[in-house]
Structure 1
Amino acid sequence: MFNHILVPIDGSLMAEAALPAAAFWAEKFKARVTLMHVIEKNAPDAVHGQAHLKHPQDAERYLKELAKRAFPKRTQIECHVHTNETDDVAGCIVEHADELSHDLVIMCSHGRGAALHLFMGSIAQSVIARGSQPVLITHPDQEGKPPAFFCRHILVPMDNDPEHAEALPISKELARRAGATLHLAAVVEQLASLSGDKAVARRLLPGTTSRLLELARQEAEHYFEELEKGLLAEGFQASAHVFRGDPASVIVEAAAVASIDLIVLGTHGRTGMAAFWSGSVTNRIVSLSRIPLLLVPVGKS
């Protein structure tokens, strides 16, 4: 499934937080890895407190040293430095999709809030919008260093959008390769947590809305019960749960309680981008949690 992993690196220790996950999945899938650095036009002298790699020779040496330090010798590593200076780093990485033919991008989010620049900027957005490659977002540890990466428990949040179920096959393959347990989770909102257009229905028709939410809970429990039976029959260790409350908050809490190592979420990419970047459940999960998150483009057929 994943044969070639691309890891964009800006030269900072924080960006290296993507490397443990890249090494883990490269081993599990016997995939090759390309470490990529883009020479930025008018680059600052420092990035995240460290010297910025402004010269191709420095970047090439750095990537080669990183390949030896962060990956086993048996891993096939390639280093690619985009030497033409650009002020559109994100666009440059996206344009390399055809040239490098990677099928998974792993990158680091540098923190929360305003520091989420790498994730909230156009790099991840552009890759997802093109709908060709899943994107795995990781985080540095509390000291800003690369954390160890494990994949013993995978959480797959799902809702009533059947296209989001397209993330399940990838989750199953990840679980097979890693020997991980799959946890499916659905969150049916409570009357008090409804927002946006749903909040209007809550105010105008509270009784009807409450009954509809209860029906949604019952349907979700039946659907998840069947999914869990199917996964167990296939030999997976699996669980399925239906929760009530605010979806993003509940998912983050459930992930923490279950010691989740990876959250896998389907996203509509281009068709759903406006909602995705303006406060959707996915975006809020990233803001609230430091658990690695794999975004899988769905609904592209």
Structure 2
Amino acid sequence: MASFDFIKAAVKGYQFVWHHRLELLKFSFPVVFIGVFCEFVIIQAGMEENILRRGLLDLPAVFAQGYFLAELVRYAIYGEPFVLWGYTWRSKLEEFKALYVSRMQDARRRSIITASIILFVLQMVVADVLMGLSALGAEKEIKPPPEAMSTADVLSSLPEAFLAILIIFAAFWSIRLGFLYVSLSLGYGIREYLHKLKGLSSSVSLFLCSFFVMLLLVFPAEMLLKLLTIIFADLPAVWVVTTAIVLEYIAIILLSVVTVASAYGIKDMVEGPPPPRLNIFS
């Protein structure tokens, strides 16, 4: 079954983002700007608590994130630089134009990036729908359990418990589906990706890699937000704007590291040599 060294992949993801931090900061600015604008629209519309409508208003930011992450994978794995008007020196303008024209003429690359963006957006929409349905279910009144349950009640609840276990197992097994956008950005087809990453070990590796990345980022992000709260305690308007910008950059950093780290892992699982099989009869 396919797996990879999730710690090594996570470290490589952080190393890449740190090494290219200034470049990524520059190219992620439009993504952050769109995200902050959408957040202010959501606040102005008073839809912070409505997950489904919030997700609908946040779609432009999701499209921008999908494009940025698709280009990031191509840059990290294949060394294809970002191409964005307004971000090049005058002395290299002709080189930029030539690269831009070649990118526009590369139909296969355009289809790869487009498919990755569409799949990323679909995954985020599905996640918002599931979160919205979960929130609606949580609002329903939960009846307190009886003080004592008879044997018949316990036996009758076993199928529901078994079904819940199956759902949890299926959700954990399908974690690999959440990284399909990375596979498409790498140029792998969906069938090839699912064939190479069949089994539970690939989902476990991707989950542990993402968890390790988030674990290293949660504490610094929390400390930074607390510091901003203290600094702008008397300036609520400034605090709202600053916090929105910082949260967008934190989200971009997290998505960038997770995407790059998982790209390294997926590339190893898809293209790596199969493990040697033990022949006990030789």
Q: TM-score category by the smaller chain?
A: under 0.3
Highest relative contact order (Cα 8 Å, sep 6+), 1 or 2? Answer: 2
Q: Determine which structure has more spread, i.e. the larger CA radius of gyration.
A: 2
TM-score scaled by length of structure 2 = 0.25
Q: Which has the higher strand share?
A: 1
